[in-house]
């Protein structure tokens, strides 16, 4: 078996995840619907031998949403277009198990997997925002725990449909007139509490068998679901210690389920910022952060708490006690925000600014950033990182400057191991 | 105003719409999931200055389905990939108003419209096959008339969502920090019998305003719906007289609705077959048709009649009296089949073979085919044709041999009039 190396994915996120970052002079303010921007990023990530590009998503906006959310490409169509302009990099999109039909989603993902020669991945989310229901016939957002029950059935249907045809089902013998082997063609006939789907699916298996399953929940329900189902996990890690705790927990849960823990990869998201010096990088961050006024930062924070109205609180008083608020939305994020505010005695202003324009944890020269990545990797706290780089030039500098250092140190690959997403990530191709 | 010319669209349909055509030595038996095949066809259609490529679809298969239906690309993903490898040709996909969520469909189509710089089109179908319900939580297929009521609401929601943002809503002024003009941002708040959708949509208008609406129903409900809603119609025409009747009827209905009849284009589907001589073309047809045994032809016919069991009937007795059977499925097609069998005193064998491998109406030398096209065009029976060409080489020969003749005669364009689908079709860009 080849030596273990670090892995990267690349989040591509238009004008970025802040309220005001788009005002930076070096940002293309049209990026969220500019195919040239996405194409350049995807090709750069491919040059950097990343496992995949990753497209986040949301299904509900209001006039208070950040610019990127208001006007952006839909992930399935975007990834299908990127399939034509890339060759080896995986294409991972975010799709909801609460607000999609499993037959349609199974089919679109498998079709993308064929169109890309085996590079599709599904980041399964349960859609945490209450407003989404208003766009889907008022099908109310189920409680957090039930959303994961629905997710389990949805995924079971999708994976069941993906096995409608065995890998060698299509014979296409012109002489005998045999197009397929009926013994390798299966009806699903799924009858669950939430879904009833007969199948079969009208597309066969792909070069990598079937799309890779990503999951991003970090709550108790989310971790249990991920360990049972996911092949890769997108998570947040505020420190090396917390990352290590999460990593060990997921691998232990996987083992308890009788799975090979190596086949569930853990990728925290980071926003590395490379400068000519630490001071230069700091200055880049400050120039970016100062674009966001405090009112916008508070509004951004509110989104995690179901658009909670924070205006009644003093900005410079301790962060308020919120009780159950936020528990049914982005639970792991809101739990973390509450706990951290308490631990650090933060004010509302501090919490809001920290959330709206987080200070990069991996910051400094290219050597500094490479050192920190290596430290996390050698501590066995991660399998890889998802690089999210809103600050201008930070994505380019990561690929052009940090990657070669990691390669020189022998902890990053110098070529793609294969052509499918499963090969790039290092999990088995499904039979 | 420029002189009226004929228009073409190109159906791309993998291994073809017959049960056994894939066995032809010159057919790529993997075509239905081979991107290279679709790419080559789309690029050839673009070379031929076609208005659009057209992707048909279905949401249910059984082991009795024809090969192309068993294993094929999903249209949204396929068209998004083709967007990256074509420049001017429209991209029209078939999507169901009965089995999609309007928010998701509106968003994917508008995203495709942005990714292709204004080339997306939606062929709205109401999903005639009863089996589809089994793949969608047993949401029973509503009766024919009600499906059109649902379709009307669905389309009203989709078009309403497409108007969430006015064309000049996004300002993106970095100086003032104004990303959009809130006066040009609209909430839909649709409350219908079948759909409740608040919006707004999280993507703005495209270069052509919004995707073009195609419709394919030819029943009374279908015609009424098309005249009220469609911008282009895909129809069948068994003769010039029938085509003229349909064309005049649609234009008259459009006028009665207060619409400009020029803004609803009528495209019958044809399968032109070009040979070195009429005899050569006939021989090509016979070589193709003889691949299909009569049992397969009957099975193919049965699909239009909700998989009706024809095996109880004598193949060489007159076509049986079927009463209401087929009325809730492909109604206009089954009505036509029944009527024609009666008029022509056809046997079951004749009907089945005629349906399974229709003899091309436009057949002969390139001059012959061009003559016939010109005759229909000059009779004002059509605005254009959708070219469906299952027989090997027929698509290539149409583009390479027939198109130049029509151009020389001054009834076909020699360059694209614009870059968007609406410009190629010749209907207004929506404000």
pLDDT per residue as tens digits for the range B90-102: 999 999 999 999 9
> What is the C-alpha separation between B419 and B118, in angstroms, rounded?
8
Rounding to the nearest 10 degrees, give the CA dihedral for residues A41, A45, A47, A51. Answer: -150
Chain A residues close to B138, C-beta within 8 Å? 196
Chain B residues close to A20, C-beta within 8 Å? 177
User: Considering only CA atoms, which of B197, B122, B207 is closest in space to residue B167?
Assistant: B207
Q: Do B99 and A99 touch (CB under 8 A)?
A: no
String of DSSP letters for B123-144: EEE----GGGGGGTTT-PPPPH
Query: How confident is the prediction for chain A on average, in pLDDT?
Result: 94
Q: Is the bond leading into A318 cis (omega within 30 degrees of zero)?
A: no
pLDDT of the residue at B329: 66
Assess contact for A421 and A91: CB atoms under 8 A: yes
pLDDT of the residue at A237: 87
> What is the C-alpha separation between A155 and A165, in angstroms, rounded?
17
Calculate helix-pair angle for A240-256, A220-229, nearest 10 degrees.
50
> What SS3 class is residue A191?
strand
Task: For chain B, give the percent of residues with pLDDT over 70.
Answer: 99
User: Is A139 a residue whose pLDDT tops 80?
Assistant: no
Q: Which residues pair with B364 in a beta bridge?
A: B274
pLDDT per residue as tens digits for the range B244-288: 999 999 999 999 999 999 999 999 999 999 999 999 999 999 999
Which of B70, B76, B107 minimises the CB distance to A108? B76
Q: Which residue has the tokens 């990026």?
A: A31
Assess contact for B154 and B146: CB atoms under 8 A: no
For residue A54, give how far its alpha carbon lies from the nearest alpha carbon of chain B (Å).
Answer: 17
Q: Do A136 and B197 touch (CB under 8 A)?
A: yes
Mean pLDDT (whole number) for B179-183: 97
Band of pLDDT at residue A276, cut at 50, 70 and 90: very high
- Sign of the Cα pseudo-torsion (A110, A111, A112, A114, in order): positive
Chain B residues close to A61, C-beta within 8 Å? 200, 202
> What SS3 class is residue A17?
coil
For residue A130, give how far its alpha carbon lies from the nearest alpha carbon of chain B (Å).
Answer: 13
pLDDT per residue as tens digits for the range B7-55: 999 999 999 999 999 999 999 999 999 999 999 999 999 999 999 999 9
Chain B residues close to A170, C-beta within 8 Å? 71
Band of pLDDT at residue A219, cut at 50, 70 and 90: confident
ipTM: 0.95
pLDDT of the residue at B2: 55
Question: CB pairs below 8 Å between A and B: how many?
Answer: 180
Which one-letter DSSP state was computed for residue A318? B
Assess contact for A267 and A384: CB atoms under 8 A: yes
User: Is B64 a residue whose pLDDT tops 60?
Assistant: yes
Considering only alpha carbons, which residue of chain B is nearest residue A96? Answer: B104
Q: Do B177 and A203 touch (CB under 8 A)?
A: no
Retrieve residue A308's tokens: 């909670």
Which of A29, A85, A170 minimises the CB distance to B172? A29
The CATH number, out of the four listed (3.40.50.2300, 3.40.50.1010, 1.10.10.10, 3.20.20.30), of the domain defined by the range B7-279+359-425: 3.20.20.30
Q: Which residues pair with A306 in a beta bridge?
A: none
Query: The domain at A7-277+359-425 falls in which architecture?
Result: Alpha-Beta Barrel (3.20)
Mean pLDDT (whole number) for A2-11: 90
Considering only alpha carbons, which residue of chain B is nearest residue A81? Answer: B81
Mean pLDDT (whole number) for B377-389: 97
For residue B69, give how far its alpha carbon lies from the nearest alpha carbon of chain A (Å).
Answer: 7
pLDDT of the residue at A1: 42
pLDDT of the residue at A362: 97
* Residues in CB range of B305: below 8 A, 6 or more apart: B322, B325, B326, B329, B334
pLDDT per residue as tens digits for the range A233-249: 999 888 999 999 999 99
> What SS3 class is residue A83?
helix
Q: Which residues pair with B52 in a beta bridge?
A: B9, B90
Q: Is B324 exposed, middle or buried (0-12, 13-18, 19+ CB in 10 A)?
A: exposed
pLDDT per residue as tens digits for the range A326-375: 777 677 788 889 999 999 999 999 999 999 999 999 999 999 999 999 99
User: Considering only CA atoms, which of B36, B23, B89 is closest in space to residue B416?
Assistant: B89
Query: How confident is the prediction for chain B on average, in pLDDT?
Result: 94
> What is the C-alpha separation between B322 and A28, in angstroms, rounded?
63
pLDDT of the residue at B1: 42
String of DSSP letters for A35-68: HHHHHHHHHHHHHTT-SEEEE---S---TTS-HH
For residue B11, give how far its alpha carbon lies from the nearest alpha carbon of chain A (Å).
Answer: 19
pLDDT per residue as tens digits for the range A76-111: 999 999 999 999 999 999 999 999 999 999 999 999
pLDDT per residue as tens digits for the range B195-248: 999 999 999 999 999 999 999 877 888 899 999 999 999 998 889 999 999 999
CA–CA distances in Å: residue B83 to residues A313, B112, B213: 50, 8, 18
- Domain ranges in chain A are 7-277+359-425, 293-356
> What is the C-alpha separation between A135 and A161, in angstroms, rounded?
27
Chain A residues close to B200, C-beta within 8 Å? 61
Considering only alpha carbons, which residue of chain B is nearest residue A70? Answer: B202
Chain A residues close to B162, C-beta within 8 Å? none
User: Is B57 a residue whose pLDDT tops 60?
Assistant: yes
For residue B198, give how far its alpha carbon lies from the nearest alpha carbon of chain A (Å).
Answer: 5
CA–CA distances in Å: residue A347 to residues A172, A239, A296: 68, 21, 16
pLDDT of the residue at B275: 98
Buried/exposed code over B112-128 (b: 16+ C-beta within 10 A; e: otherwise): bbbbbbbbbbbbbbbbb
End-to-end CA distance of chain B: 20
Q: Do A29 and B99 touch (CB under 8 A)?
A: no
Q: Do A70 and B180 touch (CB under 8 A)?
A: yes
Assess contact for A390 and A384: CB atoms under 8 A: no
Which of B71, B104, B172 minimises the CB distance to A204? B71
Mean pLDDT (whole number) for B60-82: 96
* Residues in CB range of A407: below 8 A, 6 or more apart: A413, A414
Give φ, ψ of A92 to 5 degrees. Answer: -110, 125
Retrieve residue A350's tokens: 């501090």
Q: How many CA atoms lie within 13 A of B411 on its CB side?
A: 18
> What is the C-alpha separation between B355 and B328, in angstroms, rounded?
19
User: Is A400 a residue whose pLDDT tops 60?
Assistant: yes
Which of B99, B115, B204 minimises the CB distance to A77? B115
Q: Is B3 exposed, middle or buried (0-12, 13-18, 19+ CB in 10 A)?
A: exposed
> What is the C-alpha separation between A223 and A220, in angstroms, rounded?
5
Chain B residues close to A70, C-beta within 8 Å? 179-180, 202
Q: Which residue has the tokens 């239906």?
A: B69
pLDDT of the residue at A265: 97
User: Is A180 a residue whose pLDDT tops 90?
Assistant: yes
pLDDT of the residue at B29: 98
Considering only alpha carbons, which residue of chain A is nearest residue B29? Answer: A172
Which of B30, B115, B137 minimises the CB distance to A78? B115
Residue with the larger pLDDT of the pair A400 and A147: A400
Q: Do A99 and B101 touch (CB under 8 A)?
A: yes
pLDDT of the residue at B323: 86
Q: Do A135 and B30 touch (CB under 8 A)?
A: no
Q: Is B419 exposed, middle or buried (0-12, 13-18, 19+ CB in 10 A)?
A: middle
Q: Do A70 and B179 touch (CB under 8 A)?
A: yes
Chain A residues close to B35, C-beta within 8 Å? 114-115
- Sign of the Cα pseudo-torsion (A44, A45, A49, A52, in order): negative
User: Is A2 a residue whose pLDDT tops 60?
Assistant: no
Which of A74, A172, A204 minimises the CB distance to B29? A172
Retrieve residue A423's tokens: 């090969």
Q: Do B83 and A81 touch (CB under 8 A)?
A: yes
Task: For chain A, give the percent of residues with pLDDT over 70.
Answer: 99
User: Is B331 a residue whose pLDDT tops 90?
Assistant: no
Task: For chain A, give the percent of residues with pLDDT over 90.
Answer: 84
Which of A22, A80, A198 minimises the CB distance to B134? A198
Which of A19, A27, A32, A135 is the best mutation test for B, with the most CBs of B within 10 A? A135
Which of A20, A30, A138 minimises the CB distance to B172? A30
């Amino acid at each position: 078996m080849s030596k273990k190396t670090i892995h990267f994915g690349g989040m591509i996120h238009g004008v970025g995840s802040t309220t005001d970052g788009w005002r930076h002079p070096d940002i293309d303010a049209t990026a969220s619907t500019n195919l040239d921007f996405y194409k350049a990023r995807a090709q750069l990530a491919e040059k950097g031998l990343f496992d995949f590009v990753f497209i986040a998503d949301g299904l509900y906006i209001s006039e208070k949403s950040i610019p990127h959310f208001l006007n952006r490409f839909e992930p399935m169509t975007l990834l299908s277009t990127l399939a034509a302009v890339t060759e080896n990099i995986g294409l991972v999109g975010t799709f909801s198990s609460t607000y999609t039909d499993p037959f349609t989603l199974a089919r679109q993902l498998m079709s993308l997997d064929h169109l890309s020669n085996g590079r599709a991945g599904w980041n399964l989310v349960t859609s945490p925002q209450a407003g989404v229901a208003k766009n889907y016939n008022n099908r109310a957002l189920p409680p957090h725990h039930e959303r994961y029950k629905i997710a389990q059935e949805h995924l079971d249907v999708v994976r069941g449909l993906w096995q409608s045809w065995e890998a060698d089902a299509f014979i296409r013998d012109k002489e005998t007139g045999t197009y397929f082997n009926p013994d390798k063609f299966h009806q699903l006939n799924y009858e669950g509490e939430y879904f009833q789907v007969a199948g079969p699916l009208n597309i066969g298996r792909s070069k990598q068998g079937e799309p890779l399953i990503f999951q991003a929940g970090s709550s108790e329900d989310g971790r249990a679901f991920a360990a049972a189902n996911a092949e890769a996990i997108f998570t947040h890690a505020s420190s090396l210690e917390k990352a290590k705790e999460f990593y060990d927990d997921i691998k232990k849960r996987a083992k308890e389920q009788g799975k090979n823990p190596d086949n569930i990869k853990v990728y925290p998201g980071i926003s590395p910022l490379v400068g000519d010096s630490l001071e230069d990088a700091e200055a880049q961050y400050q120039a970016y952060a100062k674009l966001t006024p405090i009112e916008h930062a508070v509004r951004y924070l509110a989104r995690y708490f179901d658009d909670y109205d924070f205006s009644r609180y003093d900005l410079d008083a301790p962060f308020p006690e919120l009780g159950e608020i936020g528990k049914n939305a982005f639970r792991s994020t809101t739990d973390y925000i509450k706990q951290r505010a308490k631990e650090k005695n933060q004010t509302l202003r501090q919490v809001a600014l920290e959330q709206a324009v987080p200070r990069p944890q991996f910051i400094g020269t290219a050597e500094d950033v490479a050192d920190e990545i290596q430290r996390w990797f050698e501590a066995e706290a991660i399998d890889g990182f998802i690089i999210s780089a809103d600050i201008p030039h930070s994505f380019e500098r990561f690929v052009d400057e940090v990657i070669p250092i990691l390669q020189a140190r022998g902890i990053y690959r110098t070529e793609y191991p294969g052509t499918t997403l499963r090969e790039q990530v290092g999990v088995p191709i499904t039979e």
